[in-house]
Amino acid sequence: MKQSSWGASSFRGRIVGDVLGARGAVAFVALALLLCPTIGAAFSNPLRIAVEATGDLVVTDPELEVLFRVEPLTGDRRIASGLGVGAGQPFTSPVAVAVEASGDLVVTDRDLNAVVRVDPTTGDRSTVSDPGTGAGPVLSNPLGIAVEVGGDLVVIDNSLDVVVRVDPSTGDRAIVSGSGTGSGPAFSAPTGIAVEASGDLVVVDHDLGVVRVDPVTGDRTIVSGTGAGAGPAFSVPHDIAVEASGDLVVVDHALDAVVRVEPVTGDRAIVSDDLMGTGPDFNLPFGIAVEASGDLVVVDAALDAVVRVDPVTGDRTSLALDCPAAPRPICTTGFGKGKLKVVERRPFREKLSAKLLSGPEISQTDFGDPIGAEVSAFALCLYDDADVLVGTLVVDRALKDCAGKPCWRSTGGAPPSGKGYVYKDKEASASGVSKIVLKRGAAGKSKLLVTAANNPSKPHSALPTGIAAALASTTSVRMQLISDDGACFGATLTEISKQESDLFSAK
């Protein structure tokens, strides 16, 4: 399962590029990012993630050969290093990233066989260790990386099947475990590494599961996986992080799941997958990290997204799109009519209906392409009269099926000359939304509709509640329907007809 499961050709974006002969398309994206590197740059093949002390997220993208910085609240992406941002040896295939105590970022580059340090402010790159820098066994396929308490770097080498310690100053390399160093089961296909509070190292291995490594002797013990721990079996565990409690969290990209591992017994429990938690289903999760809040952040290469996971409920929210804390300042308005009704009088039977009617001239292309891969999510964002976010409904279902049929379809013909798009989901699995209508039209004819509800007989329970109570004293409500390609449609409603803790209606 070694190189076949983790070779460069296994990267989803590279498979697409090779099959279609579309290297020019990737080059075009790279050129666009080079010309405009800091304005909502899109992921192409995000892979691994780390959390900076500021709370910002840093994400590697080997397809674009860059390191992204992601704002944790809005999901806004900026290139932190690469493609014209920062000086030094360019990345060729950045895989994993970790944060040093100084705030500097350290990145493994599998094609350079190197560890690269990145200045978090300028994006400048300097080589820490490579075949020409530092003494010791030369890295052959460096993947995972972590920082020990003392500041040394520990790197997974997937070709040598070892853990390598790298001196952060000299770049000198020494094998910590593997290839005759340390006792215990030999690594087979190690890919990710983290450091426990005790200083022990925990490694994920595709074949073995989770392996604990003594940082002094290099001895290896299977914590969870082959013959250790109860619970759902791993399939292809790929990356690992340590929660504040000491529990281990692992992403398995064959199970499309986050799995929690009890560090003593090795018992496994699903934290989040298509049956545990609500939100966009994982499709190819590769990287995981833990935020200061305790939330988990997962990189999904197929969704081209960072997904935040509630560590208790398993609920998933894509940071490819989330409602910003304040309304977007640039948004298409001009809707002659608008309506919002929130009914929450019967627990578990809450309803929400939002309408933007008699809008300005809008073409089908203005909505993006929810039946394609470019626009993957829409969100309905509700704000009170102080521009405080009071309600968020996210639908991240592009290219997905609902009841055996595509959730999204074009109406009135194929894009770009159709009448618009319709989203239908009888299961109301994304924020309780069962229907979205995006209708183009001349001035006064365009409209947007969102319908959502909870219904225990279905069972539907994904619609957020408490929205009516949050609007109980507002004098107006602002609605914005936004997409992850930057489209925004909004209106402010000032005529409030019903305003109670469990009922709100305005137009």
Please tell me what DSSP assigns to residue 94: E
The answer on 197 and 108 residing in a single domain is yes
| pLDDT, tens digit (0-9, with 9 covering 90-100), for 379-415 | 999 999 999 999 999 887 777 788 889 999 999 999 9
Q: Do residues 168 and 83 both lie within one domain?
A: yes
What's the number of domains the chain is made of? 2
| Domain extent at residue 395 | 337-506
Note whether residue 330 is domain-resident: no
Same domain for 342 and 281: no
Residues 177 and 270 placed together within one structural domain of the fold: yes
Contact of 298 with 307, CB cutoff 8 Å: yes
Q: Is residue 327 part of a domain?
A: no
Q: What are phi and psi of 16, to 5 degrees?
A: -60, -45
- Report the range of poorest mean pLDDT among 288-297, 353-362, 370-379, 435-444: 370-379
Same domain? 192 vs 290: yes
Given a cut of 70, is residue 19 above it in pLDDT? no
Q: SS3 for 106-164, per residue?
A: EEEECCCCEEEEECCCCCCEEEEEECCECCCCCCCCEEEEEECCCCCEEEEECCCCEEE
Is residue 425 situated within a structural domain?
Answer: yes
Q: Which of 291, 318, 345 is the last residue of a domain?
A: 318
Residue-wise pLDDT tens digits, 184-202: 999 999 999 999 999 999 9
Please check whether residues 404 and 300 belong to one and the same domain. no
* Residue 39 covered by a domain: yes
Residues 364 and 310 in one domain: no
Q: Are 356 and 303 in a shared domain?
A: no
Could you read off the pLDDT of 206-253 as tens digits, one per residue?
999 999 999 999 999 999 998 899 999 999 999 999 999 999 999 999
Residue 128 confidence (pLDDT) above 90:
yes
> Is 13 a residue whose pLDDT tops 70?
no
Q: Cα separation of 392 and 306, whole Å? A: 18
Among residues 254, 285, 318, the one where a domain terminates is 318
Exposure of 33 in the CB half-sphere (CA atoms within 13 A): 27
Residues sharing a CB contact under 8 Å with residue 274, sequence separation 6 or more, in sequence order: 256, 281, 282
Q: What percent of the chain has pLDDT over 70?
A: 90
The last residue of one of the domains, among 250, 284, 318, is 318
Residues 443-471: tens digit of each pLDDT:
999 999 999 999 988 888 889 999 999 99
Is the residue at 262 inside a domain?
A: yes
Burial tier of 176 (Cβ tally within 10 Å: 0-12, 13-18, 19+) = buried
Q: Per-residue pLDDT averaged across 25-48, rounded?
A: 52
CA distances from 365 to 227, 249, 361, 417, 487 (A): 54, 41, 12, 8, 10
Q: Are 130 and 277 part of one and the same domain?
A: yes
Q: Are residues 466 and 418 in the same domain?
A: yes
Please state the pTM of the whole predicted model: 0.65
Q: What is d(CA 26, CA 224) in angstroms, rounded to the nearest whole number?
A: 39
**Confidence at residue 368, expressed as pLDDT on a 0 to 100 scale:** 85
Distance CA 356, CA 58 (A): 37
The DSSP call for residue 274 is: S
Q: Is the pLDDT of residue 171 over 60?
A: yes
Average pLDDT over residues 156-175: 98
Average pLDDT value over all residues in the chain: 88
What is the CATH number for 308?
2.120.10.30
Q: Of the given ranges (8-22, 36-50, 121-135, 190-204), which has the lowest mean pLDDT?
A: 8-22
293 inside domain:
yes
pLDDT band per the 50, 70, 90 thresholds, residue 325: confident
Terminal C-alpha separation, the chain: 59
In three-state secondary structure terms, 408 is strand
Considering the domain architecture, whether residues 299 and 186 belong to the same structural domain is answered as: yes
Inside any domain, residue 325: no
Q: Is residue 64 part of a domain?
A: yes
Residue 472 has pLDDT above 70, yes or no: yes
**Residues 300, 208 share a domain:** yes
Higher pLDDT, 63 or 175: 175
- DSSP letter at 30 equals H
